[in-house]
Structure 1
Amino acid sequence: MTLIDRTHRAGGSPQASAPLLRVSDVRKSYATPQGPIPVLKGVDLTLAAGESLALLGESGSGKSTLLHLIGGLDDADSGEIMLDGVRVTGQPDAERAALRRERIGIVFQQFNLVPSLTVAGNIAFQARIAGRFDAAWQEELMERLGLAALRHRYPEQLSGGQQQRVSIGRALAIRPRLLIADEPTGNLDEATGDEVMGLALDLIARTGCGFLMVTHSTRLARRLDRQVTLASGVLAGA
């Protein structure tokens, strides 16, 4: 039984008024030969279901580090991250992996598609692993992302914009409670990036999940509900 199962069986479901995501006094340092370098120095953040939030900041400010902690890809030194009533921080790797499979969709700048799988296979990949594959929802995703006619193509046969659409479809195929994206349009030209972002926001609204995006673009950030800036290890505007 996973941590997620135990939480729900113990009556630990979040109340309706509780935020989907709560980050409390999260700190993270990295070891170097010269000693530890603090990156996050007490970050506090909340995000509601159905809300979108842009995380801005200079390169090296710790934006990706924070995103990885929220997504359970790494663990904080101290502080607490709660997602949908489940504690993310301080859990074993297997528990955090289960949380990612079942509740978190992740979109990376580098696409990270499986070369040996078709468009349809890549979109279904995480959902099948999580036991949450829904054929009707997959068809809707491919149609709305403009990928239905490309379903049998492989990643190498797609443009950058098409590959990013596939990665968005894969992340949304599990109907995540939280979608996180790290510079999702960073490898795309402005027009293609705008198109991909518009499709993503439309589908996010369709699912009602929370959306947290790291970006350098203030123009894209303004399309989201809120914007916060990470500087000197803390957030402004949270």
Structure 2
Amino acid sequence: MPRVLIAHDLTKTYPTADGPLEVLRGVSLQVAARESVALTGESGSGKSTLLHLLGCLDAPDSGSITLEGRALQDLDEAGRAAVRRQSIGVVFQQLNLIPSLTVAQNLGFQARLAGREDADWQARIATRLGLDSMLSRYPEQLSGGQQQRVAIGRAIANRPAVVLADEPTGNLDEATADTVLDLMLDLVRDSGAAFLMVTHSPRLADRMDRRLHLKQGRIV
């Protein structure tokens, strides 16, 4: 499989009252199309920072990021925003669903921004996620597991090159978490995306194709 996402020697430091805090210290990784990779590590190891860099939500201090052959590390904010719209799907633990939009509108939101709205693909996603009877509901009318399914569907609706997930099942009970991860893995493979998921759960990490462990800002 072709390597969709390649990061090489990424560093990131933040200023603090006690001086510079070196969060990432030369991180390199690769993820192929249809491959699922778990990113594990203790709190403070740099997992969320790495995900933000890979998701074009922030820029590294040094190092390179390549997505589908395109270098991302030197893009300005407008350039990063364009890449996020077109090529990256993100699922956060907080979900960030838009409360004033229905399930159907939330599902299609990212695809509309990208100019890639596909009614047939969106309908398939809704059916696979068990949401086809809930399309006219609003997020507040859904359970936590149902809201998580909407967030997953939204991230995949524009057929991104890579899907990044930060503890996507952290607020769910074990059985619901397993179901949600099954659906996510199935849909990501069907869409052809590369999939990188931050998780604290060894059990869920074992479900992925492989695992990377981040410790004190480095992959070990």
* Local SS of the residue matching 2:149: helix
Is the Cα contact below 8 Å between 2:2 and 2:33 reproduced in 1?
no
Name the residue aligned to 2:126: 142
**1:64-94 C-alpha deviation (Å, 9 max, x unpaired):** 0000000000010000011111111121011
Any idea what SS the aligned residue of 1:152 has? coil
Q: Pick one of 149, 164, 176 that aligns with 2:160.
A: 176
If the length of structure 2 is used for normalisation, what is the TM-score?
0.98
Q: Which aligned pairs between 1:206-225 and structure 2 lie closer than 5 A? A: 206-225=190-209
Q: What is the RMSD of the two structures over their aligned residues, measured on CA atoms?
A: 0.8
Q: Following the alignment from structure 2 to structure 1, what is the Cα–Cα distance between the partners of residues 32 and 94?
A: 27
Q: Cα offset for 1:129?
A: 1.0
- Deviation, 1:50, is 1.1
TM normalised by structure 1 equals: 0.91
Percent identity between the two aligned chains: 60
The residue that corresponds to 1:10 in the other structure is none
Letter in 1 for 2:51: L
Residue 72 in structure 1 maps to residue 56 in structure 2: yes
Q: Aligned partners of 2:115 and 2:196: how far apart in 1?
A: 24
Q: What residue is the counterpart of 1:4 in the other structure?
A: none
CA distance in 2, matches of 1:46, 1:132: 26
Is contact 2:14–2:21 with CA below 8 Å preserved after alignment? yes
Unaligned runs of 5+ in 2: none
Q: Where does 1:26-105 land on structure 2 (aligned, <5 Å)?
A: 26-105=10-89
Q: Give the match's secondary structure for 1:148.
A: coil
Runs in 1 of length 4+ with deviation above 3 angstroms?
Answer: none
Question: How far apart in 2 are the matches of 1:231 and 1:120?
Answer: 40
Partners of 1:88 and 1:220 lie apart in 2 by 30
Q: CA deviation at 1:18?
A: 5.2
What is the aligned partner in structure 2 of residue 3 from structure 1?
none
Q: Which runs of structure 2 are paired with 1:114-125 in the superposition (5 Å)? A: 114-125=98-109
Alpha carbons of 1:208 and 1:18: their partners in 2 closer, same or farther (altered >3 Å)?
closer
1:205: Cα distance to partner? 1.4
Question: How many residue pairs were aligned?
Answer: 220
